Chain A
Amino acid sequence: MNRWSERMIEAAIRFSGFVSIAFVVMIFLFLLTEGHALFRVTGLTDFLLGRNWHPISTPPQFGILPLLLGSLAVTAGASMMAVPLGIGTAVFIAEVAPKRLAGILKVGVELIAAIPSVVIGFVGMVLVAPVVREFFSLPVGLTAFTGSLMLALMSMPTMVSIAEDAIHAVPRQYKEAALAMGATRWQAIYRVILPAARPGILAAVMLGIGRVVGETMAVMMCTGGAVAIPSTLLQPVRTMTATIAAEMGETVRGSPHYNALFAIGIVLFLITLIINVTADLVIHRGRRDSP
């Protein structure tokens, strides 16, 4: 009897383990079946490097370079703001802030994750965009920069909580040893604690960026939606995610446009997959190196 229930539980656990993998594989297969038909109409190079996204003109053009660069611009902008800020916050919470303040900050940063992305998009559109427009004297405030600002905010919870855990996990002796040798608090943080926590911090950065790449609603609302190759962050752009979300409702099922949106989905999937796998490798390499 006991052995039987043991086996049942084991089977149930194994089933739940496989379910998530099965979902990932099935989603990827679904993207492939719906997306591959595009490549009968457009070549892979024309798709990835084409400068024109005119899905409903005749003949249609399905070049996603502007969308790729739009996503890249927004991601790069968000990372430049979020990475230093996120790591700084993590160091402050883990090493500098008094206990009570650290607790409040940690909860506060994690609360950002509870804000629905449409609300963040709304704030970006109504409050931040006009400020950006005024400040840089632009014709419109809905730019890659505006989107980056909001995305930087959205990636903070992931980045801060993972980086903070990594810093917290550094053995206390490291810090005490550095201090006992006459290092200042900052020297101990910079030369001893951060290097020891580096794998975890890199993983935090990667997962934060992964969050930014995949985000849809907030960028759609804040970046202006113009399909154009940006030359600065202060221009309106359209990301891959926003394109799929905005156009999927208007396509005819099975049409080249429909297939093209799925093909974009494949590209997005691969990008986030690469980011996540890299983050994972970095974490595990770190584990192997340390004692």
Chain B
Amino acid sequence: MVAAQPDIRPKIRSEEWSVWYGERQVLRSVTLGVRANEILSIIGPANSGKTTFLRSLNRLIDVARGVRTSGRLYLDEEDIREAREVEALRKRVGMVLALPAPLNLSVFENVAYGPRRHHIGERARLEEIVEKSLRAAYLWDEVKDRLHVSGFALSGGQQQRLCIARTLAVEPEVILFDEPCSGLDPISTARVEEAMIGLKKKYTQVLVTNNNMQAARVGDRTAFFLMGELIELGETRAIFTAPKNQKTEGYLSGRFG
């Protein structure tokens, strides 16, 4: 209903954002906005640049060698490229990665890792944060009796929700999901999606996924990327039922990608 009205200030905004790895251009002048408290799904085939776009938002692309960018990226009208402390930016923009990657620590310490990095050392305070984060990730009931076993002892779906809890523990404003369910079974996937929908109240979320059905299930709006370009962005239902662009339709009906 609210289709790109100019008076809505987006939480995240990219203007003609392009990224090169060495000589190879992987993003071509992407302009889009992410609204506060929505889930924006980004779909597209391999090498479409969707993960690169996601990683631009918390400047994780800085880790790679030989990266060049142009255009602008804003978080609440602040320029992401000029964030003086990238660590502070990443505290505001959390990320959940493709493979569940718990640290080789206990469940408790996995969640407490972020807060400890940000100088919270008091035990009672940490316990409170850990419980709150695990509850928000719909994991608390399953692990409350074994907070001190290794994170690796959990199932794949539990590990991924542990990673979500870990991200929530630093109280971000935005959460980026990079194919969070690519290694999970359908039931675990459903749990993770349930957690994402529950998080909408407090967080703005961007989901990169290879699973179109997942985008249809959880995304408020969906963006389709192809060869580094944003082809189409719209309400999820509109994209899936009546895409405006032929390429979008081709991708969704499985004709390529």
Interface residues of A (CB under 8 A from B): 98-99, 171, 173-184, 187, 191-192, 195-196, 289-291
Q: List A contacts of B163 (CB < 8 A).
A: 177
Contacts of B176 in A (CB 8 A): 180
A181 touches B167 (CB 8 A): yes
Within 8 A of A (CB), among B151-179: 152, 163, 166-167, 170, 176
Interface residues in B50-108 (C-beta closer than 8 Å to A): 58, 60, 63, 65, 87-88, 90-91, 94-95, 97-99, 101, 103-104
Residue numbers in B under 8 Å from A98 (CB-CB): 65
9 new A-B contacts at CB < 8 Å, known A99-B65, A173-B97, A180-B95: A173-B101, A176-B101, A177-B163, A179-B63, A180-B176, A181-B166, A183-B87, A192-B103, A195-B104
Name the one of B88, B104, B113 contacting A181, with C-beta atoms under 8 angstroms. Answer: B113
A180, B104: Cβ atoms closer than 8 Å: no
For the complex, give the distance between the alpha carbons of A192 and B21 in Å: 26
Q: Bound complex: CA of A99 vs CA of B99, how far in Å?
A: 26
A32 to B90, CA, bound (A): 63
8 Å CB contact of B101 from A171, A183, A191:
A171
Which of B88, B103, B118, B152 meets A177, CB within 8 Å?
Answer: B103
Cβ-closest chain A residue relative to B88 = A182
A177 to B60, CA, bound (A): 10
Cβ-defined partner of A176 (8 Å) among B63, B104, B113, B114? B63
Chain B residues, Cβ within 8 Å of A176: 60, 63, 95, 97, 101
> Nearest A residue to B152 by beta-carbon distance?
A291
Question: Can you offer 29 A-B residue contacts whose CB atoms are under 8 A?
Answer: A98-B65, A99-B65, A171-B101, A173-B101, A176-B60, A176-B95, A176-B101, A177-B95, A177-B97, A177-B101, A177-B103, A177-B166, A179-B90, A180-B58, A180-B60, A180-B90, A180-B95, A180-B97, A181-B90, A181-B113, A181-B117, A181-B167, A181-B170, A183-B87, A192-B103, A195-B104, A196-B103, A290-B104, A291-B152
B-side contacts of A290, CB under 8 Å: 104, 152
**Would you give the shortest CB distance from B220 to chain A, in whole angstroms?**
23
- CB-CB nearest in chain A for B116: A191
Q: Which 5 A-B pairs have the closest CB atoms?
A: A173-B101, A180-B95, A182-B91, A181-B114, A182-B90
A278 and B114 alpha carbons, distance in the complex (Å): 35
Residues of B within 8 A of A187 (CB): 117
A195 to B97, CA, bound (A): 20
* Residue interface bits B175-205, CB-to-A below 8 A is 1, else 0: 0100000000000000000000000000000
Cα A191 to Cα B103 with chains together (Å): 10
Interface residues on B, range: 20 to 34
**B101 contacts A174, C-beta separation under 8 Å:** yes
Please give the residue numbers on chain B whose beta carbons come within 8 Å of chain A beta carbons, in ascending order: 58, 60, 63, 65, 87-88, 90-91, 94-95, 97-99, 101, 103-104, 113-114, 117-118, 152, 163, 166-167, 170, 176
- Closest-CB distance, A193 to chain B (whole angstroms): 10
Contacts of A196 in B (CB 8 A): 103-104
Query: Distance in Å from the Cβ of A262 to the closest Cβ of chain B?
Result: 46
- Least CB distance from B178 to A in Å reads 9
Which of chain B's residues has its CB closest to A195's CB? B104
- Among B63, B87, B104, point to the contact of A184 (Cβ < 8 A): B87
- B63 with A178: CB separation less than 8 A: no
Closest approach, in angstroms, between the C-beta of A179 and any C-beta of chain B?
6
Give the residue among A177, A184, A290 with the most B Cβ atoms within 10 A: A177
* Closest CB in chain B relative to A111 CB, distance in Å: 25
Residues of A within 8 Å of B114, CB to CB, are 181-182
**What separation, in Å, do the CA atoms of A184 and B176 have in the docked complex?**
19
A222 to chain B, nearest CB (A): 41
**Could you tell me if B95 and A178 are in contact, using CB atoms closer than 8 angstroms?**
no
Q: A171-B101, A173-B101, A187-B117 are in contact. Are A180 and B65 (CB under 8 A)?
A: no
A178-B152 contact in complex given A99-B65, A173-B98, C-beta closer than 8 Å: no
B88 contact set on A, CB distance < 8 A: 182
Q: Cβ of A182 and Cβ of B87 under 8 Å apart?
A: yes
B117 touches A179 (CB 8 A): no
Query: CB-nearest residue of chain A relative to B62?
Result: A179
Identify which of A176, A177, A180, A183 gathers the most chain B CB atoms within 10 Å of its CB. A180
Interface centre among A98, A173, A289, A290 (most CB of B within 10 A): A173
By beta carbon, the residue of chain B nearest A198 is B104
- Chain B residue with the shortest CB-CB distance to A187: B117
Most buried by A among B63, B88, B176: B63
Residues of chain A lying within 8 A (CB to CB) of residue B152: 290-291
Chain B residues lying within 8 Å of A171, measured Cβ to Cβ, are 99, 101
Q: How far is the CA of A174 from the CA of B118 in the complex (A)?
A: 18
- A186 to chain B: closest CB distance in Å? 11
B150: min CB distance to chain A, Å: 8
Give the chain B neighbours of A289 by CB distance below 8 A.
Answer: 104
- From known contacts A196-B104, A290-B104, infer whether A181 and B65 are also in contact, taking CB-CB under 8 Å: no
